[in-house]
Amino acid sequence: MTNPVRPREIGRPLERLEGAAKVTGTATYADDTAVVHPLYVFPVVSTVARARIRAVHTDAAAGLPGVQAVLTPDNAPRLAGADSGEFAVLQSDEVEFAGQIVAAVVADTLEVARDAASRVRVEYEERTARLAFRADDPELYTPGKVNPAFQSDTDSGDFPTAFAEAPIQVDRTYRTPMEHNNPMEPHSTVAVWDEDLAGLTLYDSTQGVYVVRRVLAPVFGLAPDRLRVVSHHVGGGFGSKGGPHAHNVLAGLAAREFPGRAVKLALTRQQTYGLAGHRTPTIQRVRLGADRAGNMLAVGHDAIVHTSTIKEFAEQVAVGTRMMYAAPNRHTSHRLAALNVPIPYWMRAPGETPGIFALEMAMDELAEACGLDPVELRVRNDPAVDPESGLPWSGRHLVECLRQGADRFGWWGREPAPGSKGPHHRGDWLVGHGVASMVYPRNAIGGSVAEVRAAADGGYSVGIGAADIGTGARTILTQIAADALDVPVERVHLRLGDTDQPHASVAGGSSGTTSWGTAIVAAAEVFRAEHGHAPPPGAQSRAEMPPNPDADRYSMYSFGAQFVEAWVHGVTGEVRVPRMLGVFSVGRVINPRTARSQFLGGMTMGLSMALHEESLVDPRYGHVVNRDLAEYHVATNADVVEQEAVWLEEEDPHSNPMGSRGIGEIGIVGTAAAVANATYNATGIRVRELPLTPDKFVR
């Protein structure tokens, strides 16, 4: 690991550098890219879940004034390397899920393209689709790995015997529904094919310009340097923009048909439900065994998730359970149901979000069975070392988060008996308090490279192909660069979001600050060594993120504790959450202002998961019926009342030169469990299936 940087700009609550551009509407998002006389492409998507296309009737669409082309599997350009079903757009007449692209219209205006697309008629030879997600599916199978490369199943000790012989046992099944990311900015791309250079430029709403290049260059038969990807501003992604999807390929195909002319494609909200990924539904069996003092003897977590028939994605639901609490006998497994559904993908804290929900609800049930306070049970089973790897922690301060959070929240005065009408009772409202632990791994993705260049005005230009998806990366990377170069932040100009900049990893897995920041620190060190503190204008150096030797010596995670007050109406079953407190252990905080925003954003998304979010699939046709923001409910201002996010003052010397760990995702992990545990404390009704809708509390 490179030497730690001396903090000066790090730790300042610097305002977002792009804030003014965003609030004044001058920030350029993908679809805002200024191009001359663009064409517009509008997809036609399947209305059935499994079929063979008999015919695509295009005459009514092609005859409209302004229509330039109607692409179908019969006439679309052939792709060079689309071996994945997701990217083999219009390459076959097979339909594997509702919402799959089956044709597309290219026209002079968006309105004409959309109108023409509605006139395309597709004939299907329908086939029996697999749509039911159930625990007794005879075709469940074990994936070779779970996202990104974890073992599917793990066993240590003798779990079956230890659980069977444990004096206190909890054996429960928890369920979470299909959910969709729903960023405010829909997935969009502007594609330009340059015939002279035999190359393609994509102005894309993405979390990783280099990921798009790496995946799509072979699809189009291009050398990597012939595919440029630009992404200056992104209106949210929550993981769904972590890689390219079918719409990127469609835009590229259309651009190839009209070289030199820009082609714009922005998915509608409805189309994103089939083409931009989702969080898989889960069925999770959690088994916890403990002695009568509450010391855990056995931990088991078996997860069932679904995937698409055309591309496997296995969410790592049970992985967090492998390291969370001390127990000598452990078992985890994952099973997949391959269904005729769209392809699942990353959604904020994939794996940990649904998995820790189930584990932390089971911990609440175990605490009750042992006669222990839920905070005390978690403290009692805090492991001294990582139970899975045996490595020491780089900084596990979960107990401090729990203790400080309990004191700050007023936890010790909560209702001791679930459903009791004690002093917290408010008329028809039953009041309860819940807690859950939070965890997310400190991730680092190698290969990121940064470049430092001396400017004529005495400042420094720092380039890296990273993406700021709204997290504040542009600001905190500037702060890191300033400290690494030992100059004020005003003397640093950051260039990012373009494959013309040096290689950078994806903005995902809470890895950006560690990966990109470490590369920037390394480049600054090389620059000073090569050019000193008075460099001539134009002097430049670059460096790759160096390997961290401590990565194999320590187990590195961010931790936190979530406390929630929930009110449940005794007649209607309505749930309200007037108060939330998150206490986090994340190493050094680079920017308190942007960090607090990330914590509260994650907590809000967890609240939304707890109370509202559920994608409902029509069992006849396979499409999501509530595929818009009117029917897919998310938390709004009325749901979010008092939220507080605080963190421990600390530094992790093993994680990276900044002493930080990831913060972008931990805020959502455990939040839904804390809400569910609070509703149980309020009502005495244990709901083990999300979302916590009123009908589940009416008896």
Q: Which residues are catalytic?
A: 665
The whole-angstrom separation of Cα 398 and Cα 386 is 13
Point out which residues pair with 71 in neighbouring strands.
104
CA–CA distance, 671 with 537 (Å, rounded to integer): 50
Amino acid at the residue 67: V
Strands 121-126 and 51-57: antiparallel
Return d(Cα 14, Cα 23) in angstroms, integer. 17
Reference 237, options 535, 496, 420, 469; nearest CA is 469
The contacts of residue 699 (CB under 8 Å, 6+ apart) are 685
DSSP state, 5?
P
Would you say how long the chain is, in residues? 699
C-alpha–C-alpha distance, residues 186 and 244, integer Å: 13
Rounded CA-CA distance 144/632 in Å is 33
Contacts of 361 (CB under 8 A, 6+ apart): 172, 174, 286, 673, 676, 677, 688
- Please compute Rg for the chain using Cα positions: 26
Q: What is the DSSP letter of 279?
A: B
Contact 607, 639 (CB under 8 A): yes
Q: Which amino acid belongs to residue 564?
A: V
CB under 8 Å to 20, separation ≥6 — which residues?
A: none
Q: How many CB atoms lie within 10 A of CB 425?
A: 15
Element (H, E) at 513: helix 512-531
Could you tell me the two tokens for 431?
């009041």
DSSP alpha helix (H) spans, 67-165: 110-119, 159-165
Show the CA angle centred on residue 9, arms to residues 6 and 12, nearest 5°: 125
What is the DSSP code (8-state) at residue 658? T
Burial of 458 (0-12, 13-18, 19+ CB in 10 A): exposed
**CB 630 within 8 Å of CB 293:** no
